[in-house]
Structure 1
Amino acid sequence: MLHTTLTANDKRRVFRAGLASGKLQRFPGAFSPLAAMLIEEQDFDGIYISGAVLSADLGLPDFGLTTLSEVAGRGHQIARATDLPSLIDVDTGFGAPINLARTVRMLEDLGLAGCHLVDRVESRRHGHADGGGVIATVEMARRIKAAATARRDPDFVLCVRTDARVTEGLDAAIARAKAYRDAGADLIFAEAMADEREFEAFRRALPDTPLLANMSEFGPAKLLTARTLQNLGINMVIYPVTLLRLAMASAEVGLKTLQIEGSQASIVARMHSRARLHDLLGGQDYHRFEA
């Protein structure tokens, strides 16, 4: 009731313990606080807050158009809605290393459990897009050191994503991941891995470093099961846009039904009922509190 019962540091320690547990940590992407509550109810391990989803929810393409205040504010709304740790996408960090340092401190203040930044150049193209480009390894390491130095809570998780697989190849992506780990990254986000063999290569090269897998639909990567990822030694998986895509597809069906049939009667059975929504929101807890 009334949002999370845990402190931000509690959730960060839970996040770190999960990464070290040997059990795959599953973080679906939440597009709203209500979606985050559903993720918690369904017994997942954490909440992922995708930059692409946040942009889409604001009616914008994923071209880096969102601001720090928009991202941090939405992250705060989602993070405080559940007791699960939340990892938020901050893209390239909103500017120079000093801006990235400010980003980390603001996210700490707002209760996020961690963030991830990417080594992509400011072209604002997605990591799956050919020719997106990545910055020099030494420059990215400098940015990571700025973020690591800025954080005040040592349990705040600093995740770093490399998009080098697409433009430079697997070996280069692994070499970058090692440099990023040495610069202070706690968790490596290996983007655009094609299949199991590439994840295996990453795990062999970084045996003691937590690894994150991105199981996003409609990309070049093969969608692997949680069991497969567990067996590959992956520590964490995200499903960034899954819930938004499902929700929007259902909403589109509903609107077309209203247009064609003139009523929503034929699809009421597919909806969350008033009672179900009340239960998800913990309405009974509020009634007891008032009493």
Structure 2
Amino acid sequence: MQPSSQKLRQLLQRPEIIIIPGVYDCLGAKLAEQLGFELIATSGFGIAASTLGVPDYGLMTATEILVSTGRIAQSVSIPLIADMDTGYGNVLNVIRTVKDAVQQGIAGILLEDQEWPKKCGHFEGKRVISMAEHVGKIRAAVQARGESGLVIIARTDARAPLGLEEAIARGRAYIDAGADILFVEAPQSVEELQKIASAFPDVPLVANIVEGGKTPELSASQLQELGFKIVFFPVSALLAATKVMTACLRQLKEQGTTADFQELVEFKEFQNLIGVPQYLEMEQQFTSVKDSS
């Protein structure tokens, strides 16, 4: 079987921009795969909200994140990029995080230069470590991945606290340290997106579109014209699911029934999504022989 990291690297060779939905559980991953997405990414924001019901404030431990992302990676056949926050400590922690990610079959990881505990990239009050410290983390990650081919995405959150020019300078240093892809988080205008793209004409770039966040909500085609290679939509599915669940539960509370709620997936369709027919077939394969006693 082809390693997931190799599948990701092949996708990066295509000329068109890659649209990546953010997922926070195995069900969302399966839906994305079923709908034809060739690549998915975990949202740390989504995993924190769905697992603990808390904001993306660095409250999830490395173990909790790796367990969640590992399960998601193993639930689908398409590659997964995992949000690994800051690597959960210093260079030694980064080395362990990278090795664990490789063991889980994850195709690529994000490593950001915020101080720990970090915050969602579109929240206020972010602080970043020194450029030199994060360069060391990227170098450690490159060494730790060994021959796995794990794709390393260097993310800088320096735009908010230190300005765009500092973010661009950091981006150059992180690419020089061996990162495969650059992610400058939360540029605040089309002009800033253009400056980032102009500064890195030969580097695969990430744009991160958070509905209601700091970055203009451009389409994938618009971002490709600017020079971006990847566009994440990290919380779109989370926000949509929350709206539908709210409407469903409100109707149930007010009317005592969901009989006419139009947004429910058919029960049989849901069973097919999670593989009930295949599990029934396996069960019958091993239980169809009558007991000779």
Same fold (TM over 0.5): yes
Q: Partner residue of 2:288?
A: none
Q: Deviations over 1:148-202 (max 9, x none)?
A: 1111234100111111111222211111100000011111111112233222222
In structure 1, which of residues 214, 227, 252 is the aligned counterpart of residue 221 of structure 2?
A: 227
Q: Kindly provide the CA deviation profile for residues 57-109 of structure 1, in whole angstroms up to 9, marking residues without a partner as x.
A: 12222111111111111111111111111011111111111011000000100
CA distance in 2: counterparts of 1:286 and 1:96, whole angstroms: 43
Residue 130 of structure 2 is matched in structure 1 by: 136
Post-superposition Cα deviations, 1:112-147, rounded to whole Å, max 9, x if no partner, equal 001101111125333333441211111110111111
**Matched AA of 1:90:** M
Give, in whole Å, the separation in 1 of the partners of 2:43 and 2:239: 13
User: Are 2:251 and 1:251 equivalent residues in the alignment?
Assistant: no
Superposed displacement of residue 215, structure 1: 0.7
| Aligned mates of 1:209, 1:264 — CA distance in 2 | 50
Aligned residue in 1 for 2:43: 50
Distance (Å, rounded) in 2 between the aligned partners of 1:277 and 1:102: 37
The 5 Å alignment of 1:1-291 reads 6-7=1-2, 9=3, 11-58=4-51, 59-267=53-261, 269-287=262-280, 290=284
Aligned to 2:289: none
Query: Aligned residue pairs: how many?
Result: 283
| Deviation of 1:28 (Å) | 0.5
Contact 1:117-1:160 within 8 A present in 2 as well? yes
- Give 1 or 2 for the bigger CA radius of gyration: 2
Return 170-179 or 149-158, whichever deviates more: 149-158
Q: C-alpha separation between the residues in 2 aligned to 1:196 and 1:22? A: 22
The question of whether the paired residues in 2 share the 8 Å contact of 1:108 and 1:153 is answered with no
Amino acid at match of 1:230: Q
> Structure 2: any 5+ residue segments left out of the alignment?
286-293
Partner in structure 2 of residue 3 of structure 1: none
Residues 126 and 282 from structure 1, CA distance in 2 versus in 1: closer, same or farther, beyond 3 angstroms? closer
Separation in 1, partners of 2:115, 2:24:
26
Instruction: Compute the TM-score of the two structures, normalised by the length of structure 1.
Output: 0.92
Asked if structure 1 preserves the Cα contact closer than 8 Å seen for 2:156 and 2:171, the reply is yes
How many Å apart are 1:217 and its aligned residue? 1.3
